[in-house]
Structure 1
Amino acid sequence: MEVTRRWQNCCSYGCQHRSGIFCFPGAVAAAGAHVILACRNRLRAEKAMAAIGSRVPGANVEFMQFDADSLTSATALAAELRGRQLDILVANAGMIRTPLSREPGLLEYERTMTTNVIGHARLLGELAEKFRQGSLRLITLGSMSTLMLRTDPSNLKLETDYHPYRAYVQSKAVLQSLGIGLDHRLRQLQWPARSIAVHPGYSLSGLTPQIEGINEPDFAKRLTGQLQASFAQGKHEGSVAIVEAALTKGLDNCAPGIFFGPQLTAKGRISLARPANVTRSKVLQDAAWELFVQANGGLDPFAL
């Protein structure tokens, strides 16, 4: 691709990783990676591993317990991972079916922010030494919704004006901003790791292949998906942005703050994209970093 001036230090690349593999773990397993599925539900994880194995013969996949709604669970997972080689770490939790009314979460935030951000933040803090030791790639999942609804950095706890969709959007904006900000911090520290933010476009279950126990949309969801197919895609297609961020070579030469997404925003070929302005703003990045420090008991694992 031809890169814009903003990305002139980044190598050119193509969307080389689109395949018949139905999800990100399957795609990287097909590339020869050992994949750890850190999941809350062991039964569903085992079904996912079976599905990957049926599509990628010899896939090397294992399960580890992780509940992103729990700091204790994040700490326990980090303890298991410290002795393992880590090349790619994906912050993928995204509570889409957010509570209709505000439910208390950790650190006085509401539950969506807890699940989508705070659990990940604690895990990253516990694994900070991994970022210093080698060329680890962290991939944080933002959302195109951050372009559609304003995020208020002064009301991230949503103690007022709570709405389920606002809770989702603000949690994804914070995670996206944290990922972008961390990449700048890693450059300042001169550590070899990179933090890459991505968004999967407008991805629907109704346009995603059926996987028993994982994705089983009913007729109504299939119909809704087909009616939106001109501007939407399946979740297997949305995962291509993560695969590109994980497997594209030469990203170490890119300017800080890399952001991947579909070329047409909702769908399309994966390209370098422009994130929502608020997620690049100092106001939200400072608020996101403060939340990160709070999630790690008041300590900054990436202090300058």
Structure 2
Amino acid sequence: MSKWTTADIPDQSRRVAVVTGANTGLGFETADALAAKGAHVVLAVRNLDKGKEAASRITAAHPSADVTLQELDLGSLESVRSAAAELRATHDRIDLLINNAGLMYPPKGTTGDGFELQFGTNHLGHFAFTGLLIDRLLPAPGSRVVTVSSIGHRLNAAIHFDDLNWERSYHRVAAYGQSKLANLLFTYELQRRLASHGTTVAVAAHPGGSDTDLMRHLPSGLQFAMPVLRPLFQSAEMGALPTLRAATDSGVLGAEYYGPDGPGGLRGYPKLVPSSDQSHDVELQHRLWTVSEELTGVAYPA
């Protein structure tokens, strides 16, 4: 299929979609498109005021949209557990879990639980959130967990098991690469564990080079060059298409990865794309999974 767009999203009526980081950028565009197709969309956001603004924008554009808010700070395991408990109390089933929220290239810092910001938020927060909601996804035929990775999973990326929190040294680009590689390792291992259930699949997507608020922590040299580089990037609306295709295209299979079809995967329409050889390392997937359960205290059901 060429030039897949939001027009190709099938009817999402009676489906429940939870989208993390849905108040802006890629998450907002994802939530907006799903709501436009009839899904009940939960905007899982850290800042409720910004979430309310996003919900108002969606309902203004689509008056019949069914949108609710859920407070969620992926950098706090307490918040993750609280949000998951509230969603479990209000939803017997979840059809789509879109793990979209994230940080890119922030200054060195830690989450409230002491994890490096990017690894703790981009990977561990979503790992725990998914694990706490997985039994709401399993009863829903055709349900999906879509985790947003990045072409950055190839950039100086490795899982530094000897220093996951970058306490000895910190390189913001490499730390981002670690977190995005972790997103893929998680997706592929999750799919392996879900395969026997036959109802839920785990897939991944990346937005290419999208001009969003995620760029706010770019190193100074790149910020200086952005006026020249910006034409290489695409809009958040285009950047959300791989996630939307991974979430709704009937032909999607577990452990697939979707991204833009243009040169270097920076821009274009969504298609099935390859990820790094390292992301398919089964031993690495197993090891990261075990460490993630230990660090978060969230054990997935057998």
Return the TM-score normalized by structure 2: 0.81
Verify: 1:91 aligned to 2:90, yes or no. Answer: no
Pairwise CA distance, 1:194: 0.7
2:232 aligns to what SS in structure 1?
Answer: coil
CA distance in 2, matches of 1:205, 1:125: 28
The amino acid that maps onto 1:159 is E
Q: 1:222 to 1:45 in 2, by over 3 A?
A: farther
Superposition deviation, residue 172 in structure 1: 1.4
- Whole-angstrom CA distance in 1 between matches of 2:77 and 2:159: 25
Aligned residue in 2 for 1:63: 69
Aligned partner of 2:170 in structure 1 is: 162
CA distance, structure 2, for counterparts of residue 39 and residue 54 of structure 1:
19
**Partner in structure 2 of residue 139 of structure 1:** 146
The 1:152–1:119 alpha-carbon spacing in structure 2 relative to 1, beyond 3 Å, is closer
Match of 2:199 in 1: 192
What SS does the aligned partner of 2:243 have? helix
The RMSD of aligned alpha carbons is 2.8
Cα distance in 2, alignment partners of residues 105 and 72 from structure 1: 9
Are residue 75 (structure 1) and residue 81 (structure 2) matched? yes
CA separation of 1:294 and 1:16: change in aligned 2, threshold 3 A: same
Go from structure 1 to structure 2 and tell me whether the alpha carbon gap of 1:151 and 1:73 turns closer, same or farther (over 3 Å shift).
Answer: same
Q: Does the alignment pair 1:50 with 2:48?
A: no
Q: Which residue of 2 aligns with 1:6?
A: none
Structure 2: 5+ residue stretches without partners: 9-25, 217-221
Q: Does the 8 Å contact 1:74/1:123 carry over to 2?
A: yes
**SS state of the match for residue 127, structure 1?**
helix
Write the distance in 1 (CA, Å) between the matches of 2:296 and 2:137. Answer: 16
> Any conservation in 2 of the 1:18–1:240 contact (CA below 8 Å)?
no
Write out per-residue CA displacement over residues 132-155 of structure 1, whole angstroms, 9 at most, x where no aligned residue: 322321110100111232324434
Confirm or deny: 8 A CA contact 1:105 1:114 kept in the other structure: no
Q: Deviations over 1:30-68 (max 9, x none)?
A: 100111001110111111112222222222111111110
Taking the aligned partners of 1:47 and 1:134, their CA distance within structure 2 comes to 30
Residues 295 and 123 from structure 1, CA distance in 2 versus in 1: closer, same or farther, beyond 3 angstroms? farther
Matched-pair identity in %: 28
In structure 1, the partner of 2:243 is: 242
For 2:258, give the aligned amino acid. Answer: F
**How far did residue 301 of structure 1 move?**
1.3
Residue ranges of structure 1 left out of the alignment (5+ in a row):
2-12, 209-214, 216-220
Displaced runs of 4 or more, over 4 A:
221-226
Partner residue, 1:8 = none
Amino acid at match of 2:44: A
Which residue number in structure 2 is paired with residue 4 of structure 1? none
Relative distance call for 1:153 and 1:278 in structure 2 (3 A) is farther
Q: Does 1:292 align with 2:292?
A: yes
